[in-house]
Amino acid sequence: MKRAHVIFHGRVQGVFFRANCKSKADALGVTGFVRNLQNGTVEAVMEGDLEMINELIQWCSGSQPIARVTSTEVHWESLTGEFYDFHISY
């Protein structure tokens, strides 16, 4: 089990990025949250199986229906196990 703190840059706000990310995370069994930041990026914290987290990051970076991600920052952190599901944070 792993934990990733991810920042997505590009056209990621106002394009259903968070809702699509949550849907994909739920399908993959990844827990955590996703939220918009004031600087126009989207932040996500993801916990779960390393392979599933990597799949979610790749999907969000390149397969979002409307969003256009220009770069992705991934920082691996210590697992906390604090999440029971994946939610959209406001």
Tell me, yes or no, if 36 is annotated catalytic.
yes
What is the pLDDT, as a whole number, of residue 90?
A: 87
Query: Pick from 21, 68, 15, 67: which is nearest to 43 by CA?
Result: 21
Q: What is the mean pLDDT of the chain?
A: 97
Q: How far apart are CA 20 and CA 61, in angstroms?
A: 12
Q: How far apart are CA 37 and CA 23, in angstroms?
A: 20
| Res. 54: pLDDT tops 90 | yes
* Cβ–Cβ < 8 Å for 1, 30: no
| Res. 77: pLDDT tops 90 | yes
| Res. 45: pLDDT tops 90 | yes
Selecting among 3, 18, 35, 54, the annotated active-site residue is 18
Architecture in CATH for domain 2-88:
2-Layer Sandwich (3.30)
Provide, rounded to the nearest whole percent, the portion of the chain with pLDDT above 70.
100
How confident is the model over 17-36, as pLDDT tens digits? 999 999 999 999 999 999 99
Tell me, yes or no, if 54 is annotated catalytic.
no
Chain position carrying tokens 């932040």: 43
Selecting among 3, 36, 39, 54, the annotated active-site residue is 36
